[in-house]
Amino acid sequence: MTQQLSDREVRVELVVDAPIEKAYDVFTNGIDSWWPRAHHIGKGELAQEVIEPREGGRCFGREADGTECPWGTVLVWDPPRHFAFSWEIGLNWQHETDPDRASRVDVTFESRSADRTAVTLVHSDFDKHGAGWESMRDSVQSEGGWPDLVNTYAKAAAAQ
């Protein structure tokens, strides 16, 4: 895995031991298999992570009591090559309801062989979060942020 730092985006690149279709499917439809339960902005216990598989689909956590906690909207659904979503989490780590104040996450998939796929995740547009946006960038690029999350994802993709 490589991580490239910049002032305006967080970029993480890795190669997973899975064919491209599987790599895409595990990242999106299979997010519940690898997303850590502790990474949840809701108030209750996280029971399931969900990405609705279409442009305009919702990204949300479903709590044990059935409450849905939104955190994004699918912007690009182009299996098995490109998936993008808005990061609708404010600087206070609560759901941001104003789409103009959401950053963006693009995930691209490129086949390297029949059973290996290069995955690039780019989280950008942090300045849309407003004053103090740097704290969001710093958080998602730190330990426990995207670098750790994609490693968890890579293990799930290889295991399934």
pLDDT of residue 134: 95
Average pLDDT over residues 140-153: 93
* Average pLDDT of the residues of the chain: 95
Average pLDDT over residues 52-58: 98
Q: Name every residue whose Cβ is closer than 8 Å to that of residue 114 and which is 6 or more positions away in sequence.
A: 19
pLDDT of residue 1: 63
What residue has token string 């595990």?
26
pLDDT at 4 over 70: no
Q: pTM score, two decimals?
A: 0.95
Query: Which domains are present in the chain?
Result: 2-159 (3.30.530.20)
Task: Label residue 74 by pLDDT band (50, 70, 90).
Answer: very high
Task: Label residue 2 by pLDDT band (50, 70, 90).
Answer: low
Burial 27-58 (b: 16+ CB within 10 A, else e): bbebbbbbbeeeebbbeeebbebbbeeeeebb
Task: Label residue 31 by pLDDT band (50, 70, 90).
Answer: very high
Q: Name every residue whose Cβ is closer than 8 Å to that of residue 44 and which is 6 or more positions away in sequence.
A: 63, 64, 65, 67
